Structure 1
Amino acid sequence: MTSLPLATRDNLIMLRRNLLHARRYPSLTLNVLLTPVLMLLLFVYVFGDAMSTGIVGSGAHRTDYVDYLTPGILLMTVGSVAIGTAVSVCTDMTEGIIARFRTMAISRASVLIGHVLSSVLQVLLALVLVVGIALAIGFRTDATALEWLAAAGLLALIGLALTWVSVGIGLASPNPEAASNAGLPMMLLPFISSAFVPVESMPAGIRWIAEYQPFTVGIETLRGLLLGTGIGHNGWLAVAWCLGLSVLGYLWSKKLFTRDPR
């Protein structure tokens, strides 16, 4: 048997291990899911009428704001699951299970790849839940099946990028609490983006940051795919951000994992 099938087998074993871990300890999964769901409900039912009037104009209803808000909440969901991955990786490192894996005849890369694959699957399942809730409270789209597929592909790519970054955060953190705190920018950056209000309404300095950070270009690309708004340069910028973060996160994680003696 060649090394490639062996590595694939090890990756699948680690994927199964992490999925079983998530099933046996559902509290972490629920915690990372509750934040975007509560944000969706809060902004729709508490601020929805006021926000829709400010964005769409007089006579607008909160359902108009649901359409505007949902793409941003979808990216917040990806960031929330990524924080959970950072905590999970750090927990493995600090509890010594990684040290045991190092002594076993398995592909060393499979330990990290298992976390990444598990996280991306959890991202997709979480997104299905959030989309279902959004549809139930009024989100409507005319997107074709191809546009939905492109949106799902973009979200998976964003999930992959943020997951590799979160793996690096987990490896670099001394304990799970520090990993959770270090991953907070993945939840806070959407607040300085076009997730909740158009960037044109922000002050000049903040607007420049919001316009070119990865969450805004991802959100605007999703809006274009699902709501038919203009995508412009946001599409290739979103893909470039994802590829860049994936490569940097992978190289950072690999370096930390190779040298970390824990």
Structure 2
Amino acid sequence: MSTVGHAVRDSATMLRRNLRHMVRYPSMTVMLIGQPLLFLLLFVYVFGTTMGAGLPGAPAGDAPAGDRGDYLTYITPGILTMTVASVSIGTAVLVANDMTDGIIDRFRTMDITRGSVLTGHVLGAMIQTAHALAVVVGVALSLGLRTAATAAQWIGLVALLVLLSLALTWFTVALGLAAPDPETASNLPMVFVLLPFVGSGFVPVDSMPAGLRTFAEHQPFTPVMDAFRGLLAGSPDGRDILLSLFWCSVIGGIGYLWSRRLYRTRAAR
């Protein structure tokens, strides 16, 4: 079998290992999906009527400004971003577990491709993220999410979500490798869950104080959430999409290179 064939086979084996972990220990998956769902329900039903007044983002329908449907439509991109970030926390914890419980030493004695361990984690996390996003989108639609997106725009939204998931997963793999223990690994990626709050996820950045507005306008998640919002509204902004592609490439590239370097150095100890 060729080197590429070995790498594919070993990565598939590691993917099956991670999928079995998810099946055997579903509590983490439930918790990671439950967090964005909780925020979705909280903001829509507790704050929706008040915060919906004057917000942009209702692409269809004749509901008056200030109803919960307007706010649901506005915050869904932020909740989707938070969902991807939430699942990535579990990835960091699993990677940190592998690095501290001795399994990597056993893998080193086997004839397996070195990078397959990380690839298995990334692929497993992507599948878990897809399930989480499907649940969140299903709940949002059941609550009355209004969208004017065409089939092509839905495909674009899915593609951008996949790219964001891939970027954050590789970065949180690196954080899991860098963490000294699983507890620390569970805390390091929390910044990704918090960034949608300090961006356009829940209120327009124009409503923020000057200093905070500057940060919100230039942080990576704001153009990503604006791109999601434009795609759902049926009127995507090319600049937001280009900025999203740029930030996902930067985050994913740094995460990939950093994780490979950390894995080589830690696994060699």
**1:3-31: CA deviation from partner (whole Å, max 9, x where unpaired):** 11111111111111101111101111111
Partner of 1:215: 221
Which residue is 1:19 aligned to? 19
Distance in 1 (alpha carbons) for counterparts of 2:177 and 2:54: 43
What is the CA deviation profile of residues 53-92 of structure 1, one whole-angstrom value per residue up to 9, with x for unaligned ones? Answer: 1425974311111100111100000000001100110011
Letter in 1 for 2:92: A
SS of 1:55 mapped into structure 2? coil
Displacement of 1:231 in angstroms is 1.5
In 2, Cα distance between equivalents of 1:61 and 1:158: 30
Residue in structure 1 matched with residue 4 of structure 2 by the alignment: 4
1:120-163 Cα deviation digits (max 9, x unpaired): 11111110000000001110212111111110000000000000
User: Which structure 1 residue ranges, 5 or more long, are not aligned?
Assistant: none
Classify the secondary structure of the residue corresponding to 2:148. coil
Verify the 8 A CA contact 2:83 2:133 in the aligned structure 1: yes
Structure 2 unmatched ranges of 5 or more:
57-62
Tell whether 2:210 aligns with 1:204.
Answer: yes
Q: Which moved more, 1:128-137 or 1:97-106?
A: 97-106
The share of aligned pairs that are identical, in percent, is 53
Work out the CA distance in 1 between the residues paired with 2:55 and 2:235. Answer: 14
Q: Which residue matches 1:194?
A: 200
Alignment-mate amino acid for residue 32 of structure 1: L
Q: How does 1:100-249 map to 2 (within 5 A)?
A: 100-249=106-255
Aligned partners of 1:127 and 1:182: how far apart in 2? 22
The counterpart of 2:91, out of the listed 82, 85, 91, is: 85
Displacement of 1:228: 2.7
TM-score, length-scaled by structure 2: 0.94
**8 Å CA contact retained: 2:150, 2:234:** no
Match of 1:257 in 2: 263
- Computed over aligned residues only, the root mean square deviation of the Cα atoms, in angstroms, reads 1.4
What residue in structure 2 maps to residue 64 of structure 1?
A: 70
Report deviation, 1:236: 0.6
Relative to the length of structure 1, the TM-score reads 0.97
Structure 1 SS opposite 2:53: helix
Rounded to whole Å, the distance in 2 between the matches of 1:43 and 1:242 is 27
